[in-house]
Structure 1
Amino acid sequence: MFERFTRGARATVKGAVAQAERAEADAVTEEHLLLALLEQEGGRASFAVTALGLHDRRASLDAAFAEARRRGGLTRADTDALADIGIDIGAIVSRVEGTHGEGALAAGRAGRRWWRSGHRPFTPGAKTVLENSLRVALGRGDRFIGEEHLLLALTAKPGVVADVLAEHCATYASVLRALYGPDADGGQGYAKAG
């Protein structure tokens, strides 16, 4: 599938690996893919990210991701659903951190399995984003996978990254409009089905 990636999409994937290395993470995650997209310049996705104001809110994005990691990767929807049945995630996190130290629930710093192969693996979620970017591209009638397809796939996959993007007004529909204009409708069936 990687042969279908444009130069910019390949740079994004390589940038995600670099993001994971800087964070000393065991694997490349969806968050690393998004952070790498934020660093890209000159492509369609870069234009959309700028138009949606995500570059200007990078610190806010980083803080939202840090808070999600602190909650053990739970989305706000997960946290709210648990609160509805009487489970206070904030209290649980505080107790765990009181016993085991700050960030005890944060994933991604154990094992170092990648040392054997020399390559950091991609998490199942990151692999799904890469696979879904192909579906987005094909759904739009595109033969190649660009950064814009990666960005759309990140907004379409339920989870922390999509939640954080939505909190920053970057939903599948708003990204689609930023990429292709106000009358953009191609690929929306994917978001509903995916």
Structure 2
Amino acid sequence: MFERFTKDARAVVLGALDHAERSHANEVTEEHLLLSLLDRKASRASFALAALGLTDRRDSVVRALAEARRRGGFSRADMDALSGLGIDLSEIVSRVEEAHGVGALESGRKGNRNGWGLRSGHRPFTRDAKDVLTRSLRTAHAHRDLPHARIRSRGGTTIIGDEHLLLALTTRPGALAEVLADHGVTYEALERVLYGAGEAKAG
């Protein structure tokens, strides 16, 4: 599928790998994809994020993602559902951190792979990150008939741009989409910016 990616979309994937390496994560997550998208300049996704004001609030996004990781990746909707069952997730997080240290519920950040304290080799993508990549293809295909999409097709093959990766991130239920929505970045808002008639559109 990688051959269908534009240069910008490939840069996002490579940037996500870099974010995973720098954070000493064992796997590449959907969060790493988002952070890589926030790094982009002069692309369709970066235009959309700037138009929605997210690039000016990167620190707020990073803090919200860190808080979601601290809760083990549970979204507020998850917390509300558990609360309805009489389970206080905040209390559970506090007790786990009291016993095992702050960030004990975060996943994918443990262990070195060799005796020198260095991480090496291939970092796999999590199932959720792979799902984002798959959804990006579906998203690109769904937008193929829009006027701008004709330049995103090679011999009838749908091409995936970084904007499709961004749109795909908003379609997955969970903490990351919730953080994006809290910052005004929803699928509908992105579609208005990227494809909306009579409004500023990404070129």
Q: Return the TM-score normalized by structure 1.
A: 0.89
Q: Deviations over 1:111-134 (max 9, x none)?
A: 556989811000000000001100
Does structure 1 residue 127 correspond to structure 2 residue 130? yes
Does structure 1 residue 62 correspond to structure 2 residue 77? no
CA distance in 1, matches of 2:113, 2:46: 33
Instruction: Check 1:183–1:89 CA distance in 2 against 1; reply closer, same or farther (3 A cut).
Output: farther
Q: Give the deviation of 1:50 after TM superposition.
A: 0.4
Instruction: Check 1:117–1:24 CA distance in 2 against 1; reply closer, same or farther (3 A cut).
Output: closer
Q: Deviations over 1:71-113 (max 9, x none)?
A: 0111111011111221111111111111111111111112556
Q: Give the deviation of 1:160 after TM superposition.
A: 1.6
Does structure 1 residue 81 correspond to structure 2 residue 84? no
CA distance in 1, matches of 2:13, 2:65: 19
CA distance in 2, matches of 1:80, 1:180: 34
Could you tell me which residue of structure 1 aligns to residue 38 of structure 2?
38
Contact 1:26–1:113 under 8 Å retained in 2: no
Contact 1:177–1:183 under 8 Å retained in 2: no
Quick check: 112-121 or 160-169, which moved more? Answer: 112-121
State the secondary structure of the residue aligned to 1:102.
Answer: coil
Rg comparison, structure with higher value:
2
Could you tell me which residue of structure 1 aligns to residue 159 of structure 2?
144
Instruction: Check 1:50–1:116 CA distance in 2 against 1; reply closer, same or farther (3 A cut).
Output: closer
Q: Deviations over 1:135-162 (max 9, x none)?
A: 1111111421000000000001112211
Equivalences, count: 184
Contact 2:132–2:165 under 8 Å retained in 1: yes
Does structure 1 residue 178 correspond to structure 2 residue 178? no
Q: Deviations over 1:4-54 (max 9, x none)?
A: 000000000000000111111110000100110011111111000001111
Structure 1 unmatched ranges of 5 or more: 185-194
Quick check: 20-29 or 107-116, which moved more? Answer: 107-116
Quick check: 112-121 or 69-78, which moved more? Answer: 112-121
State the secondary structure of the residue aligned to 2:159.
Answer: coil
